[in-house]
Amino acid sequence: MLFQLTAGNVHDSQPACDMFDQLPIAGSNVLGDKAYGTKAIRDKLTSKGAHYTIPPRTNAKEPWSVDWYLYKERHVVECFFNKIKHFRRVATRYDKLATSFLAFVYIAAIFKLTQ
């Protein structure tokens, strides 16, 4: 499991390629929403030997096919984020330092995954 904090004005898809370099994703299937359907991310996943299930945006010039049945499994990730937000400290970001906030996110994730 890997978490990375970014500034509030940075879109989630920008550090995604860097995170894929840090994870062993060969042979896996990466599920993502439409924001992660950029050509750079899709090319990075393909070059690392992973498959992707990311729907194209409605204005995509060359839309690709998507396994919608598999895409519905994204709810597991959304449920995970909902679970760690039950910790008030995570949901409201009381910590002033990014390192202490990230440490508590890891603690909350471990706690919720063991339940």
Residue range 51-84, pLDDT digits in tens: 999 999 999 899 999 999 999 999 988 898 899 8
Whether residue 19 is found in the same domain as residue 44: yes
List the domain range (segments joined by +) for residue 58. 1-72
Q: Bridge partners of 98?
A: none
Q: Is residue 22 part of a domain?
A: yes
107 plus 54 within the same structural domain: no
Q: Could you tell me if residue 77 is inside a domain?
A: no
pLDDT range class, residue 9, cuts 50, 70, 90: confident
Asked whether 104 and 90 are in contact (CB, 8 A), the reply is yes
pLDDT of amino acid 81: 86
The share of the chain scoring above pLDDT 90, in percent, equals: 31
* 30 located within any domain: yes
**Domains in the chain, number:** 2
Instruction: Report yes or no on 34 lying in a domain.
Output: yes
Same domain, 31 and 56: yes
Q: Which of 74, 70, 20 is nearest to 50 (CA)?
A: 20
Both 68 and 110 in a single domain?
no
**CA distance linking residue 111 with residue 115, whole number of Å:** 7
CA distance linking residue 93 with residue 104, whole number of Å: 10
Together in a domain, 49 and 102: no
16 inside domain: yes
List the alpha helices (DSSP H) in 3-97.
Answer: 16-22, 39-47, 68-71, 75-84, 88-92
Is 43 domain-assigned?
yes
